[in-house]
Amino acid sequence: MLIIVASTILGAIFGVIIGFSGAAANDEPVNPTFVLTCLGIVAVTFAIVAAMVLFSYRSLKATCEAWTPARVIVAIVGIIIAYRLFNNVRLSLFMGDTIQQIVIVNAMGLVFALLFLNLGVRFLFIIYCMITGRDEDKIITRNISASHEKERK
């Protein structure tokens, strides 16, 4: 919950910055309605994305605990993502002007990679459960609640 609140506050700060920079770019006085609209939209967007990433991570972790091939898939994708990040960091060392752009694009890419990785692994797990006759919702729910009980103790 703390991460979602922090993301919302960070989004609100970015929204205010967007509102003030929009006024400065057009050489107009600051419009409080526009600034508050930017604040609200960006804050809500950051909160939703943070919640989606956290829930996706929890679901992916539970799937990996329940199904061994999911661990292999996640490991392969993790190696590919780490390789791409390494190449982008190496590129940004030679092009210092574009480092902010590379960091932002990679952060957005990591969010979408995690969400689509969760979608793909869950889809494969559902197919596996259909073939073997298991109830995938029950398995995932049991693993999430078991890991939640471990964290409480």
Model pLDDT, residue 151:
72
Secondary structure of residue 153 in the 3-state scheme: coil
* Residue 78 CB neighbour total at 10 angstroms: 12
**What stretch of H or E contains 42?**
helix 32-66
The amino acid occupying position 146 is A
Model pLDDT, residue 97:
64
The amino acid occupying position 106 is N
**Angle at which helices 68-94 and 99-132 cross, to 10°:** 170
The amino acid occupying position 61 is K
Model pLDDT, residue 39:
93
- Look at the alpha carbons of 128, 134, 140, 142 in this order and tell me if their dihedral is positive or negative: negative
Distance, CA of 48 to CA of 43 (rounded, Å): 9
Model pLDDT, residue 100:
73
Model pLDDT, residue 47:
94
Distance, CA of 38 to CA of 140 (rounded, Å): 38
pLDDT tens digits in sequence order for the chain, 153 residues long: 888 999 999 999 999 999 899 888 888 888 999 999 999 999 999 999 999 999 999 999 999 999 999 999 999 999 998 898 888 777 777 776 677 777 778 888 888 999 999 999 999 999 999 999 998 889 888 888 887 777 776
Q: Do the Cβ atoms of 129 and 139 come closer than 8 Å?
A: yes
Model pLDDT, residue 123:
94
